[in-house]
Chains A and B, each alone.
Chain A
Amino acid sequence: MPASILVNVAVSGLLTGFIYGLMALGLSVIFGVVRVVNFAHGEMMTIAMYLAVVLFSAYHLDPLLMMLPIAAVLFALGYVMQRGLINPFIARPEHSQFMLLVAVALIIVNSLLLIFGPDARSVQTSYAYDSFQVGPIIIDATKLYAAAAAAAVAAGLFAFFRYSLTGKAIRACADNYQGALVVGLDVTRLYALTFGLGAACVGAAGCIMVLLLDVTPALGPSYTLLAFVVVITGGLGSMPGALLGGMLIGVTEALAGLLFTPSAKSMFAFGMLVLVLLFRPQGILGKSAS
């Protein structure tokens, strides 16, 4: 097999990995601060994907332009969910939180099935078949725009957590819950904000993903799993880790699909997850618990 094919596939996987990373970033932010594992993460992404499909088919609005409004809708959804549903569960055991979010996931998947039916929906953009050539590498235009959008959103989120006062307050909650309470931070509101931000991330990721992938209601659970794989590989709770994990899994899947069979590609992602859990349970960039 010529090396140029390998490189092409790896680059394509890397670009997809940016979107995986953005999706996983949402999960990681939520876990890092609220300490709740969002088992409805992939399902929330499918909500955003359907919103993008509806806006595109009704008004021909490009999903990439609709990224911010849709992320805002998901932010509101996440905020309300944290306030109304999840907040009372924060002190409950993990299996109880798990059940709650599984029920939420079940409701999302089947509501989408009710509204949109089981058929796959997609978006046909004018640039769907464009590509750029850089030396021997041919880059799919859609994937390049998608990856650039994902990187932009992730950069915005990093800046928010680093420089804004609210972002710093949220980091303070994650660092030291009791300390945050002592200095008078409104932890309940900050948690809801965090959940909203995590949901907005996955919403933006959904808008981008819809360019690469047809959406069905059943897509949710497998992307929840993928988000876990990415986040744990990179380090649960670490933001750069989520992005790095996304790229690693993206490349791994792409190469496994090329060298073995496409249907077995997730096996390599799961294999990688197992190895990471055993040898570096905190993830590649995660902080050690001890």
Chain B
Amino acid sequence: MRERLLEGVPRQGVILLSALLAVLLLVPAVASDYLLTVGILILYFAYVGQAWNLMMGYAGQLSLGHALYVGLGAYAAAALYVHFGVTPWIGLWAGMAIAAAAGGGIGYLAFRFGVAGVYFAILTIAFAEFARLGFDHWPWVGGSAGLFLPVANFANNDLVNLRGSPTMFYYVMLTMTAAAFVLCHALLRSRAGYYWLAIRESPEAAQALGVDLFRYRMYVVVLSAAMTSLGGVVFAFYYNNLFPEQVFHISRSIELILAPIIGGIGTLFGPLIGAFLLTTLAEALGEAVRAVGIDVPGVKQVFYGVCLLLVVMFLPDGVWPPLAKALKLDRRSADRSSER
């Protein structure tokens, strides 16, 4: 299994990944509480970005409503915990099942009725907005007043109920991000992975070669939805409060897809590097405007928007592809070392 997973990965890549993992494992030992929370955010965006990337980057289905799956996972696990005391380790299965069903439902409707491209993107927004308004008027989950989890006791980490310190959440998120990375890597080398790439490049050609478009599109939507919902479960237990207005809002969906787009769509490293760059950029801008003394609401976001604008204008494929080329880690170098 290990041999298969490492097949075709250039040596530098293995070394770089091991070094990265070692650094990430050591972060809580040296980082302050503030840096640790930044680290959790980075890992969270890397994780959900990876899940979204699966659908858009590999299978070419542009979803602008992924906040729906985050929210369904978050609300399912949190509501089960608050109302019945069910541990999130069971609740997450409920969350994944509900999100997968929602993703499957949307995918079924879209792919059966031939809703594609911009229309598909807007359909996903519509369902997320529908859920936002629906949860706003659903008293059992707190409605617009929000759903609150009992606040964590930082003194002892309770992994069973996911109550504890940022350090615990950091390692939970790190595990999930690493697992998502390995899973996506393995998927890309599977039959389904190659089918997805074929569908992304040319649905007609893929279909002509006998790829069942409907079935493989459904697989990717359901998988991406289920993965994204897990991020939502951790989100709920980390922040301890959920408001439909915040969780399902379109700006959450946009925020979630920035990392893979800036990092490089359809690449494994894209979501990681994008999440790192964007989160540190946002934090650094916050620090900078405070230091200069122009900390007025809006300043930080204007700079952030300008940075986004510059990246999309000058790096159309994102940050990772040119960087990978420079480090000789890109696909072409990888293929060369594996072909021989």
Contacts and interface: CB of A to CB of B under 8 A. Distances in A.
A278 B133 CA distance: 21
Contacts of A221: 250-251
Given A96-B312, A225-B129, A281 B306 contact: no
A109 B312 CA distance: 19
A102 interface: yes
A277 B115 CA distance: 7
Most chain B CB within 10 A, of A99, A261, A271, A273, is at A99
A94 B133 contact: no
Task: Categorize the interface residue count of chain B.
Answer: 35 or more
A94 B121 contact: yes
A266 B133 contact: yes
B302 A274 contact: no
Contacts of B251: 221
- Residues of A in contact with B, size category: 35 or more
Interface stretch (A69-77, A110-118, A128-136, A238-246): A110-118
Interface string B108-145: 01000111011101110111011001101100000010
B126 A274 contact: yes
A110 B297 CA distance: 8
Given A103-B312, A264-B133, A281-B113, A95 B265 contact: yes
Nearest to B296: A114
A100 B64 contact: no
Interface in B8-45: none
A94 B118 contact: yes
B150 interface: no
B309 A270 contact: no
Interface string A79-105: 000000100100010111011101110
B312 A100 contact: yes
B316 A274 contact: no
A106 B122 contact: no
B137 A261 contact: yes
Nearest to B257: A95
Nearest to A97: B312
Nearest to A116: B298
B5 to A, nearest CB: 29
Interface in B279-317: 296-299, 301-302, 304-306, 308-309, 312-313, 316
A88 B126 contact: no
Contacts, number: 117
B298 A111 contact: yes
Given A98-B64, A102-B254, A277 B305 contact: no
A106 B301 CA distance: 7
B198 interface: no
A277 B126 contact: yes
B304 A114 contact: no
A228 interface: yes
A219 interface: no
Interface string B80-101: 0000000000000000000000
Contacts of B122: 228, 232, 273, 277
B176 interface: no
Contact of A106 (B296, B308, B313): B308
B36 to A, nearest CB: 27
A116 to B, nearest CB: 10
B137 A100 contact: no
B309 to A, nearest CB: 4
B62 interface: yes
A101 B144 CA distance: 30
B119 A88 contact: no
A201 B109 CA distance: 34
Given A264-B133, A274-B123, A37 B118 contact: yes
Interface in B231-260: 250-251, 254, 257-258
Contacts of A273: 122-123, 126
A274 B56 contact: no
Contacts of B137: 261, 263-264
B319 interface: no
A278 B113 contact: yes
B312 A99 contact: yes
A95 B117 CA distance: 10
Contacts of A225: 125, 129, 250
Contacts of A159: none
Contacts of A228: 122, 125
B56 A95 contact: yes
B49 to A, nearest CB: 13
A110 B302 contact: yes
A114 B302 contact: yes
Contact of A277 (B62, B123, B129, B297): B123
Nearest to B117: A94
A267 interface: yes
B74 interface: no
26 contacts: A85-B313, A94-B117, A95-B265, A98-B121, A99-B308, A103-B309, A106-B308, A107-B306, A114-B299, A217-B298, A236-B118, A236-B119, A264-B137, A266-B129, A270-B126, A270-B130, A270-B133, A273-B122, A273-B126, A274-B109, A277-B113, A277-B119, A277-B123, A278-B109, A281-B114, A281-B115
Given A94-B62, A99-B258, A106-B301, 9 more contacts: A92-B316, A95-B56, A95-B62, A103-B305, A113-B298, A114-B297, A273-B126, A277-B119, A277-B122
Interface of B: 56, 62, 64, 109, 113-115, 117-119, 121-123, 125-127, 129-130, 133-134, 136-137, 144, 250-251, 254, 257-258, 261, 265, 296-299, 301-302, 304-306, 308-309, 312-313, 316
